[in-house]
Amino acid sequence: MHRSEIKRKIAGTLFVLPAFLVHFLVVTLPGLTLFYYGSTKWNGLGRPEFTGLSNFFRMLTDNDFYLALLNNIIWTLFFFIVPIAFGLAVALAVINLRRSQMLFRSIFFLPYVMSAVVVGRIFSILYSPYIGITSIFKNIGWEGLGNLSLLTNIRTAPLAVAYADHWHWWGFVMVLFLAALHQVNTDLYEVADIEGANAIQKFWYVTLPSIVPTLVTIYMITLIGSFVTFDYVYVMTKGGPAGITEIASTWIYKKSFWDYNAGYASFLSLMICFLCIGFYFIFRIIQKRGLEV
């Protein structure tokens, strides 16, 4: 290699170092301690007691943890479908409205700048059986809907909490799609027009392929994010009542801070870490395959 090339490489590596160091020291290194704590019995206050793999065996019989993971899966499915559908549909519609595009972009993106604490609290109030949305239904006279208590029904509770996060999130997805749509080569549409394609065919053959990279990245973020999400459930229900909105992160949090089981909680955190890293690698493979195709 030329001297200048080596110089460049060294310079480049130096450039990357600050970010790497800061991240490694603050995030990864403490993360590595999870390996240690995960193999102990520790009440979070005193000295950890080394217990080897006992936490692993405990996880195998921990039904509540699996129910929590199930909720994570429901969360994932919800976020795979709903915000993507909203975001894409609205992006497709808005891209044709030249003049009002900016306005709508702002309106739909607005919730994204609000904190989870605020959004969660407002939705909690809206979901309240006495002073929330259902009170409007009662006033109109729709008794059935008026008696809904979204957060106590085992079927609706996780979705109700997820919807609050969705309301916050899908504007962002829309903006991403909008950006991707702007990148689409308009010449391709003209060609499609000449070939006599209708709207649906244009979407399928021109639009969709161009936004696939964006779609894949969003899916990856969604998948991983669905397993580490914490704020909304914590603020709105703390996993209750009776664990119907419990997700992995709140369960782990409770084990650590409410139950004095920090060793076990660390182990579970480690498992979730591995899961997410696994998801990441799966997506990398998909992306690589996609490029080849």
Partner 1 sequence: MRIRRRTQIVLLVLISLVALVHSFPFLIMIMNGLRTNEEVSRVLVAFPTDPQFQNLPRVWTKGGYLEGYFSSFIIGIGTVILVLFIITLAAYGIVKLNIFFRNFFTAYFIGSLSIPMFGILIPLYFTFSKLGLANNRFGMILIYSPIYIPFNFLFMRAFFIGIPSELEDAARIDGCSELKTLWYVTLPLARPIMTTVALIVFTFTWNEFLFANVFLSDDAIRTVALRFYKFTGEWQSDYAYIYMASFISIIPVLFLYFFMQKSFIEGMTKGSLKT
Partner 2 sequence: MIKRFSVLIILAILVMGVSTILYASGEQEEGAAEKVTVNFTWQHLETDREQYWRTFFIDAYMKKNPDVLINFQTVPDSRGTFRVQLAAGAGPDIFTMDAFDIKELADADRILPLDRYSKKYGWQDFMYEWAYNSCMYKGKLYALPYAAEVTLIWYNKTFMDKYGWSVPKTRAEFEERCEGAIAQGLIPIAYGYSGLPLLNQWLYDHYINSYASAKKLVALLKDQIKFSDPDITGSFKLLKADWDKGWWNEKLSGGITIEEARSIFSRGDALFNPEGTWLAYGAIEFGTEYEFAADAWPSMKDGVAPSTSVACGEVILVNKGTKYPDECADIFNFLYTELDTIAKGIGYGGMEMLCREVDPSYYPEDTDPYVRLGLELTDKLMKTVANIGYSPWGFYPNKTNQYLMDNLDKVFLDRESVEEYLSEAQKIIEQDFAEGYEFTGE
Find the binder of partner 1 among 59, 67, 82, 95 (CB under 8 A). 95
Site size with partner 2, rule: CB under 8 A: 30
- Segment contacting partner 1 (CB under 8 A): 53-61, 75-83, 144-152, 229-237? 229-237
Residue 157 or residue 180: which is nearer to partner 2 going by CB? Answer: 157
Find the binder of partner 1 among 54, 228, 240, 260 (CB under 8 A). 228
- Contacted by 212, from partner 1, partner 2, none: CB < 5 to 8 Å by type: none
Find the binder of partner 2 among 51, 128, 217, 287 (CB under 8 A). 128
Q: Work out whether 133 is an interface residue with partner 1 (CB under 8 A).
A: yes
Q: Work out whether 130 is an interface residue with partner 2 (CB under 8 A).
A: yes
The DSSP-derived string for the chain is --HHHHHHHHHHHHHHHHHHHHHIIIIIHHHHHHHHHTTEE--SSS--EE-TTHHHHHHHT-HHHHHHHHHHHHHHHHHHHHHHHHHHHHHHHHTT-TTTHHHHHHHHHGGGGS-HHHHHHHHHHHH-TTTSHHHHHHHHT-HHHHT--TTTSTTTHHHHHHHHHHHHHHHHHHHHHHHHHHHS-HHHHHHHHHTT--HHHHIIIIIHHHHHHHHHHHHHHHHHHHHH--HHHHHHTTT-STTTT--HHHHHHHHHHTSS-HHHHHHHHHHHHHHHHHHHHHHHHHHHHHHH-
CB of 74 to partner 1, least distance (A): 18
Q: Work out whether 127 is an interface residue with partner 2 (CB under 8 A).
A: yes
Q: Work out whether 191 is an interface residue with partner 1 (CB under 8 A).
A: no
Residue 107 or residue 242: which is nearer to partner 1 going by CB? Answer: 107
Q: Work out whether 153 is an interface residue with partner 1 (CB under 8 A).
A: no
Find the binder of partner 1 among 39, 222, 226, 266 (CB under 8 A). 266
Phi, psi of 41 (to 5 degrees): -105, 120
CB neighbour burial string for 107-141, b if at least 16 within 10 angstroms, e if fewer: ebbebbeeebeebbeebbebbebeebbbeebeeee
Q: Work out whether 136 is an interface residue with partner 1 (CB under 8 A).
A: yes
- Segment contacting partner 2 (CB under 8 A): 9-17, 77-85, 258-266, 268-276? 258-266
Q: Work out whether 135 is an interface residue with partner 1 (CB under 8 A).
A: yes
Residue 3 or residue 47: which is nearer to partner 2 going by CB? Answer: 47
Residue 154 or residue 182: which is nearer to partner 1 going by CB? Answer: 182
Which residues are near partner 2 by CB under 8 A?
43-47, 124, 127-131, 149-152, 154, 236-238, 240-244, 254, 257-260, 262
